[in-house]
Amino acid sequence: MRKVFLCISCLLCTISLLAQPSQTLYTVAVQPDKANWIYKVGEQAEFTISVQKNKVALNNITVECEYGPEAFPAVKKISLDIKNASASFKVPGLKTPGFQTVRATFKVDGKTYSSYTNIGYEPEKIQPTQTMPADFQEFWNKALADAEKIPLQPLLTLQPELCTPTLNVYHIRFQNYAWGSYIYGMLCVPKKPGKYPAVLQVPGAGLHSFSGYKSLADKGVITLEIGIHGIPVNLPQQLYSDLANTALNGYAQYNLDNKDKYYFKRVFVGCKRAIDFLLSLEESDGQTVAVMGGSQGGALSIITAALDPRVKCFASRHPGMCDLTGFLNGRPGGWPSLKNNPNIALQLETSQYYDVVNFARILKVPGYYTWGLNDTACYPTTTFSAYNVVNAEKTLNVFAETAHWHFPEQNAAFENWILGRLGVK
């Protein structure tokens, strides 16, 4: 049994920090005249700007406003005088499908308060800039076939301190695409005898410890949260922080100039191997498995579903790695952002094999997608570019206001879609 020691002063400090309000003293509102924030190409939009203090709109103030294409410098700046609670101004529409950012900034007492809104112009017509290499499927078929030669050799270690009356929780590992290369994760299995569908939870960017996706497992599914870095996922958080600042700092760019050695090759193959592992479990029904994740995990959910025909469905929240070549075409590119550098030609070649756009093109299973229009980590231009080339059954649920975060209601819809597709009530 692991012993846990608490520092009372640290605990009180943490509680105090959690009690602090997330709001600022002044709130800047940038409100478009369409509730869904979506316009026709060339259509003029009108914005209402206001600033509140103590939830009361201020009068007789000046706010600096600007607008321009998403992720690029503003093309127009204006000073807006607010005399009676709010003021408005008009923004000309974009001439092609895409997104435009409108920002308002208020300065008072030496501090700056700012907010923005990202409106879309016929985003359903945005097309990717990325191209698919002729040997795309051959490349990945070979990578998966090579991995099949390596036995999984799974190791499950029960974690008594994490188990619940209804769930057994295991720290697991299995071999990935080479001898001694492992995927680690946390597995939750219902204790009640039976055969269950399974859900693979793929991680967002960074390094983290995991304790198991218990809330979903309690609905009657096997869940597996995996890490992608080949290290255990139950170590002290400080270790992950240290690695994130040293050896694994910028891992998403490692060997990006070599499609055979790029960091994510092992990761993509590892996600497929996780499906192998889940379907091999005695408690699995052997055929029903879904994938879900956000950000980096949003990308991995699409990719895994495209690579493995056994995946029945998937859910992707604000996926990264979409349309990586956008930056060359006057628009944002997906995370991890590529930039001009001495190795850019080789990096662009590699990106063809790892871009979510090209996996989206070969999808054959139902998918649920959700994101916000204010996302500046995974810009909506990039996520729409991937979504628009999907020919399989698809459902998109846009929560316009969100950036690279999600509402509880958004997450509930995300999970409920997966459970519904798996036939879990």
Please give the single-letter amino acid code of residue 252: A
Identified catalytic residue from 295, 316, 351, 385: 295
Please give the single-letter amino acid code of residue 32: P
Say how many C-beta atoms besides its own lie within 10 A of residue 236's C-beta: 9
**Does residue 404 have an active-site annotation?**
yes
**Does residue 375 have an active-site annotation?**
yes
Identified catalytic residue from 171, 229, 318, 404: 404
Say how many C-beta atoms besides its own lie within 10 A of residue 66's C-beta: 16
> For tokens 């846009």, what's the residue?
398
**Per-residue DSSP letters for 357-397?**
HHHHTT--S-EEEEE-TT-SSS-HHHHHHHHTT--S-EEEE
Please give the single-letter amino acid code of residue 96: T
**Per-residue DSSP letters for 260-319?**
TT-HHHHHHHHHHHHHHHHHHSTTEEEEEEEEEEETHHHHHHHHHHHH-TT--EEEEES-
Look up residue 143 and give its two tokens. Answer: 């990578």
**Does residue 215 have an active-site annotation?**
no
Identified catalytic residue from 257, 375, 385, 406: 375
Single out the residue of 295, 305, 345, 301 nearest to residue 325, CA to CA. 345
Return the SS3 of 239: helix
Look up residue 257 and give its two tokens. Answer: 């100039």
Q: How far apart are CA 196 and CA 215, in angstroms?
A: 15
Q: Which residues contact 180 (CB under 8 A, 6 or more apart)?
A: none
Q: List residues with catalytic annotation.
A: 295, 375, 404
